[in-house]
Amino acid sequence: MLVSYNWLKNYVDLEDMTPEELAEKITKSGIEVESVEYFAEKSDHVVVGYVASCEQHPNADKLNLCQVDVGDETLQIICGAPNIAQGQKVAVAKPGAKLPGNMKIKRVKLRGVESNGMICSLQELGMDEKYIPTDIAEGIFVFPEDAPVGDSVVPLLNLDDAILELDILANRADAMSMLGVAYEVAAILDKEVQFPDESLPVSDESAEDYISVEVEAADLNPYYGAFVIKDVEIKSSPLWMRNYLMAAGVRPINNVVDITNYVLMEYGQPLHAFDYDRFSSDKIVVRRADPGETMITLDNQERKLNEERLVITNGKEATALAGVMGGANTEVNNETKNVLLEAAYFNGGSIRKTVKATGLRSESSTRFEKGVDPNRVKKAGMRASHLLQKYANGTVLSGVAEFDELDKSEKIIVVNTEDINKRLGTDIATKEVASILSRLQFPYTQNKDTFTIQVPTRRGDITIFEDMLEEVARIYGYDKLPFTLPEGSNQAGGLTERQLLKRKIKQLMQSIGLSETLTYSLTNGGDIKRLISPEIVEQHPTPVALAMPMSEEHKYLRLSILPEMLRTLSYNIARNQSNLAYYEMGSVFISDEKEITKQPKEQLRLSGALTGKWLEQPWQQEKKEVDFYLVKGMVEKLFHYLEIPVRFEQARVKDMHPGRTAIVNIGAQKVGFIGQLHPGLAKELDLKETYVFDLNLEAIYGAYENILSFQDIPKYPSVARDIAFILDKEVLAGEVKQVIEEVGAPLVKHVQIFDVYQGENVPEGKKSIAYSLLYQDPNKTLKDNEVEESYEKIVEAVNSKFNAYVRS
Amino acid sequence: MKEQLEAIQAEALEKVEQAKNPKELQEIRVTYLGKKGSLTKVLKGMGKLSKEERPVVGQIANVVRDAIAKALDDKSEMLEQIALEKQLESEAIDVTLPGRPVNVGGPHLLTSIVEEIEDLFIGMGYEVREGPEVETDYYNFEALNLPKNHPARDMQDTFYITNELLMRTHTSPVQARTMQEYKGEKPFKMICPGKVYRRDTDDATHSHQFTQIEGLYVDKNVRMSDLKGTLDKFAKKMFGEEREIRLRPSFFPFTEPSVEMDISCKVCQGAGCSVCKGTGWIEILGGGMVHPKVLSMAGYNPEVYSGFAFGMGPERIAMLKYGVNDIRGFYLNDKRFLKQYHKA
Ligand SMILES: [Zn+2]
């Protein structure tokens, strides 16, 4: 909401307070003033001048030579504006004047003739083009005839005004008017509010002789008032009104339209003026539109209507989309003689729906949406009638034709000083509470320290004790609230086991050389299908999509963190940062429903992506690219850290290198995968050899908690044995390990591969793999023969299963 | 015999003195102290001595043996020392060459900020709660006093999935869920950090995904001054002891009274500059006293319980604290950006 400082002065005594000081006070009391801007840069030595004569310049076709009376002297001025004419009153920048844009006016000679000043347009005086009425946007500005010659144009054109931009939040609809702001400022400054003149002369005829009102949808339109103003003269509105409208960001049009806009701004009550004769009916019917009904609005658009739209009709056809926009067929124009003025209360929800459906948001619809003051609807109509009589020479007919089922009653709230102080932590005196209520102009009765408050309907936001609490607190001053700390129950704060573990895993990831990334959870149609971990694929998840995404890039809830991480890698590589090692922890969204009706399962996952060089030390010619075993080592480190046994199983995973990918298992449960990104996909993403891992952190948490609860510190010593097998080259080390673990259970606690060898002393087509076995019995010290027996069984099992033999 | 022994000693010590390596020392040891060594030979002749002479000569022999052994040991140690020094000298390297790089990663700046804030509130007795990012309309809006068609819903443009499901627009639903879990009986303090989503076009100051931390304290007799004191403590720990705070009235549907908190501008010390848009103050967070409807919907009797709530954006805090000027920077994961803040 734009508030003109000069306009506001009409309602509240602002003393000598600067606009900036006022803004600071308003902000501190609850409505944020976002900016204070001056309407125009300062001009001086610019006065009203009378164009006594105007002739063509002797040496130039397009220039005029004018003699302009500026009060104390007559200046010869050359003017190029096409609209200059003898008899006009214009803005004259005298020699020595300074105009916005640091323009200095001097005596000059133009084509041999002296020019002593400049006749100005509004633009030249620093006004924003967009607020200047279209009919005077070209050429110089012409004052009304009564403008006093020689007077400074600054006050006449309101050029010294400051505009305060207020950020009105949803609850303060009351402040969306000059009067509302006046109440607010008066409360803050402890001043009175001056009310506008709503008086109307008595007329012989009454409005009801000309119009009747019928409302068929009282739920959406509980009040409709129709005023009739006869014999209006359409012309420009007075200069002061035009100035204020421009200051409020509204472009002046003609007196009738300007007056409805002016009252809209002044009272916060939208009004609509119909051309009575073109309305061509003596009956207003307000109803829901029929399905399929259409109307042409002011902007000459045909609007398709339905039962959700409220329309104003003349009994036959729609003449306005209620509260949103008038119809083209009943618009006030230059030929208008008689005006039918609507002052109505429309239901905010209904207006909001119409605005959403049509996209027609306006100063009017916004106020209806937020709720107007029930007790100001009719008054606004009277105020506009008053102004139409005064500035359009109209005859206001007595009374108003109306439909009225509007609840205009005031809320009663009872508060007492003790409750207020208890909740605020303050020590405000009862006397002060009373003074605050008076400043707010809330009528009340007082019984000792209890107040029964009658909340004015303009403050529709105040309905309960807590609302009054805020009113008292903000006028008292949030600054004056003491600083205290809670005195209640003292629980010990802290993180849960899982939250602690999450932090530890993050630290581990960082200590092994990975940096954390944070990518978007919303991804595109291509990436939603990529790099999904096999155990999720098995669940056949339905991608969850937004109903109305902002862009195709962020439409689906991710099923894998990796695609967005790879995007991050590409982004960096494009900026010559090619050695990258990242991890990210975040949720993926798994839904097993065909049609989404309930929240998808959110699964926390830990992903990593690495590319480029892992190690580089040029002077020693050392260089190590990231590879499968580096990434595997990292994943193993995590599981060792958590003491969770884990198994890697060669597998094919979509978008991954078919020969360099493994599924990660805890027991029989798949918990993710690691491996090399498929070179085809890597190429598409402008990536070189890239390795990734993706793990279900929740499954890992579960396994960790399981192990914690079963694990005791071993009491008896362990025995280590090494064993090396000669195996066919194709045999996987992990499969042999699995057999050793199975056959060796329960005494074999840990199996580690410590050597893989091919070459001398190993037959062609064979390889040697050495395992280190750790034996332990939790209940007693192991005997040699037990270990020996188990060892023999393992050798036998491996030999027979893999066609292997023990290397001696 | 005494003379004989002394001569052996002198001869042996002389030889030790001249020995050049461990091998020579070993030979000397065998020659004099070995089983067939000269000292042993002399001692074998002791049987010829008288009863009185025997202990005297024996003692001398012991002295001689110890002296030779000591000399051998000392010399051996000396030779080892020399050898070692020689070896070490040969192992010298250029210590001015660069070291082998060690890879260490770091946290994302937002993680650092979130954890810092978490720890700060944990110190004040808060627990940390988390909740789903896909929420129901009920928990995201209705339970927070934002019924359908409430005008304030326009304040938050929402990514809907269905009419009833949406991407949470704030972490407040976690508060509603926590209150329900505690069944209107238990006083508690909690904060809830997490990702939130708004239907915004990404630009320097808007992001369709961002982070939020909200806090909630519910108990008997919670005062608005407690909120002010808590936020003051937070601001001073987070931004520096010299920072002042200012509360301004504001509006949120889930709190009443509502506040907005500013901190004094560090750049201009409150005098007004471009960072604070000339006001001397910088907006940090919003909060207020929990709306009685929010309490009662979650099962807390507002006649008995009251509470305060607050919410802040770690991105904004990071932008202020570390001078990050484009919110998109947090999500691009540029290596240089990430690295710059690893120690934050
Ligand atoms: Zn500043």
A471-488 tens-digit pLDDT: 999 999 999 999 999 987
* Domain A2-39+162-189 class in CATH: alpha beta
What does the block give as tokens for A569? 């890698």
pLDDT band at A136 (very low <50, low <70, confident <90, very high): confident
DSSP state of B122: H
Q: Which of A37-51, A384-398, A564-578 has the lowest mean pLDDT?
A: A37-51
How far apart CA A110 and CA A119 sit, in angstroms, is 14
Q: Which is more confident, B183 or A344?
A: A344
Q: Which residues partner with A557 through β-bridges? A: A522
CATH 3.30.930.10 fits A498-703, yes or no: yes
How far apart CA B57 and CA A146 sit, in angstroms, is 147
CA of B247 to the centre of ligand 1 (A): 17
pLDDT band at A710 (very low <50, low <70, confident <90, very high): low
- Give burial (CB, 10 Å; 0-12/13-18/19+) of A632: middle
Residues B138, B165 contacting (CB under 8 angstroms) = no
Task: Report the pLDDT averaged over residues A332-340.
Answer: 94
What 3-state class would DSSP assign to A580? strand
Amino acid at A172: R
pLDDT band at A713 (very low <50, low <70, confident <90, very high): low
Q: Which of B130, B270, B254, B49 is nearest to A495 (CA)?
A: B130
Residues A211, A226 contacting (CB under 8 angstroms) = yes
How far apart CA A121 and CA A133 sit, in angstroms, is 12
CA of B262 to the centre of ligand 1 (A): 12
What does the block give as tokens for A447? 């019984």
DSSP state of A745: T
Q: Which of A557-561, A596-600, B148-152 has the lowest mean pLDDT?
A: B148-152
* Cβ-defined contact of B228 to A491 (cutoff 8 Å): no
CB-nearest partner of A424 from B187, B223, B339: B223
Within this chain, domains A2-39+162-189 and A411-480 share the same CATH topology: yes
What 3-state class would DSSP assign to A471? helix
A497 among annotated binding-site residues: no
Domain boundaries, chain A: 2-39+162-189, 44-156, 207-404, 411-480, 498-703, 719-806
Residues contacting A9, CB < 8 A, separation 6+: none
* Domain A719-806 class in CATH: alpha beta
CA A285 to chain centre: 39
pLDDT at A464 over 60: yes
Q: What is the pLDDT of residue A271?
A: 97
Q: Left, alpha or beta for B118 (phi > 0: left; psi -120 to 50: alpha)? A: alpha
pLDDT band at A102 (very low <50, low <70, confident <90, very high): confident
A467 among annotated binding-site residues: yes
* Cβ-defined contact of B197 to A583 (cutoff 8 Å): no
Residues A691, A609 contacting (CB under 8 angstroms) = yes
- Count CB neighbours of A428 within 10 A: 16
pLDDT tens for residues A229-267?
Answer: 999 999 999 999 999 999 998 889 999 999 999 999 999
Q: What is the pLDDT of residue A536?
A: 96
- Scanning B124-153 for CB atoms below 8 A from A yields 124-128, 130, 132-136, 149-152
* Domain A411-480 class in CATH: alpha beta
- Count CB neighbours of B81 within 10 A: 10
* Cβ-defined contact of A473 to B159 (cutoff 8 Å): no
pLDDT tens for residues A62-82?
Answer: 889 999 999 889 999 999 888
What DSSP letter does each residue of A665-710 carry, written as one string? EETTEEEEEEEEEPHHHHHHTT--SEEEEEEEHHHHHHHHHHHHHH
Residues contacting A323, CB < 8 A, separation 6+: A270, A310, A344, A346, A351, A354, A364, A365, A368
Task: Report the pLDDT averaged over residues A773-782.
Answer: 86
- The bridge status of strand A271-275 relative to strand A411-416 is unpaired
E-assigned strand segments in B16-108: none
What DSSP letter does each residue of A51-86 carry, written as one string? EEEEEE-TT-TT-EEEEEE-SS-EEEEEE--TT--T
* Cβ-defined contact of B334 to A577 (cutoff 8 Å): yes
Chain A: residue nearest B158 by CA? A548
Given 3-state DSSP classes, what are the helix, strand and coil percentages for chain A, each rounded to the nearest 5? 30, 30, 40
Q: What is the pLDDT of residue A489?
A: 67
User: Which CATH number is A44-156 given?
Assistant: 2.40.50.140
- In chain A, residues with a C-beta closer than 8 Å to the C-beta of B222 are 486, 488
User: Which CATH number is A207-404 given?
Assistant: 3.50.40.10
How far apart CA B42 and CA B59 sit, in angstroms, is 13
CA of B223 to the centre of ligand 1 (A): 31
What 3-state class would DSSP assign to B4? helix
Radius of gyration of chain A (CA): 41
* Cβ-defined contact of A568 to B333 (cutoff 8 Å): yes
Give percent of chain A with pLDDT exceeding 90. 73
The Cα of A621 is separated from the nearest Cα of chain B by a number of Å equal to: 11
Q: Which of A33, A352, A546 to mutate to test the interface with B (most CBs of B within 10 A)?
A: A546
- Residue ranges of chain B whose pLDDT lies below 70: 151-152, 154-156
Q: Which of A390, A50, A83, A9 is nearest to A237 (CA)?
A: A390
- The bridge status of strand A515-516 relative to strand A580-590 is parallel
Q: Is A543 on the interface with B (CB under 8 A)?
A: no
Query: Using omega within 30 degrees of 0 as the cis cutoff, is the peptide bond preceding A19 cis?
Result: no
Residues B211, B237 contacting (CB under 8 angstroms) = no
- In chain A, residues with a C-beta closer than 8 Å to the C-beta of B155 are 169-170
* Cβ-defined contact of B257 to A470 (cutoff 8 Å): yes
Amino acid at B157: D
What does the block give as tokens for A705? 């908690």
* Orientation of helix A697-710 relative to helix A497-511, angle to 10°: 110
Q: Which of A345-359, A392-406, A445-459, A516-530 has the lowest mean pLDDT?
A: A345-359
Q: How far is CA B317 from CA A136, A282, B314, B322, in A?
A: 49, 62, 5, 8
Chain A: residue nearest B218 by CA? A488
Q: What is the pLDDT of residue A109?
A: 87
Q: Which of A164, A172, A483 to mutate to test the interface with B (most CBs of B within 10 A)?
A: A483
- The bridge status of strand A613-617 relative to strand A601-611 is unpaired
- The bridge status of strand A162-167 relative to strand A271-275 is unpaired
Residues A84, A64 contacting (CB under 8 angstroms) = yes
What does the block give as tokens for A481? 């609230």
pLDDT at A564 over 60: yes
Q: Is the dihedral of CA B182, B187, B191, B195 positive or negative?
A: positive
pLDDT at A432 over 60: yes
What 3-state class would DSSP assign to B343? coil
CA A212 to chain centre: 44
- Look at chain A and count its residues: 808
Main-chain phi, psi angles of B271, to 5 degrees: -80, -20
Helix extents (H) in A159-309: 178-189, 239-247, 255-267, 276-279
CA A329 to chain centre: 38
pLDDT at A712 over 70: no
What does the block give as tokens for A601? 């399962």
CB-nearest partner of A550 from B152, B199, B291: B199
E-assigned strand segments in A122-161: 142-143
Burial call A750-768: b when 16+ CB within 10 Å, e when fewer: ebeeeeeeeeeeeeeebbb
How far apart CA A206 and CA A401 sit, in angstroms, is 9
Amino acid at A721: R
pLDDT band at A359 (very low <50, low <70, confident <90, very high): confident
